[in-house]
Amino acid sequence: MKKLVVPLIAGLAVVASSPSWAWSKASGSITSIDQKAHQIALSNGKTYSLQADVSMGSLAVGDKVTVTAEAKGGKNIASRVTKTG
């Protein structure tokens, strides 16, 4: 039993430090869109820079969305924007 404890703790430490845990979700209405900068601002007061593969074509000011983002270099980088309403 003791032989399993150390590898288990080491495995949990690796999983907990994984970059995928840094992603978070935020919801709100789009308050502004900047096509040139590839950014949107939400009613939560945050601005999100969208990754190049995230389409802005169907987004409009007032749309209710959920954004999956990660904080990188002082910016909120969005990997996904999903309309919710």
Which CATH number belongs to the domain containing residue 79 in this structure? 2.40.50.320
Segment 26-85, tens digit of pLDDT: 999 999 999 999 999 999 999 999 999 999 999 999 999 999 999 999 999 999 999 997
* 56/34 Cα distance (integer angstroms): 10
Length of the chain in residues, anyone? 85
Q: What is the pTM of this model?
A: 0.73
CA angle 63, 80, 71 (to 5 degrees): 105
Residue whose structure tokens are 């919801």:
27
| 66, two tokens | 């959920």
Looking at residue 85, its pLDDT comes to 79
Confidence of residue 23 (pLDDT cuts 50, 70, 90): confident
Q: State which residues form the domain around 61.
A: 23-83
13 found inside a domain: no
Weakest-pLDDT range from 10-14, 20-24, 30-34, 67-71 = 10-14
| Within-domain flag for 5 | no
Q: How far apart are CA 62 and CA 36, in angstroms?
A: 19
The answer to the question of residue 9 being in a domain is: no
pLDDT value of position 84: 93
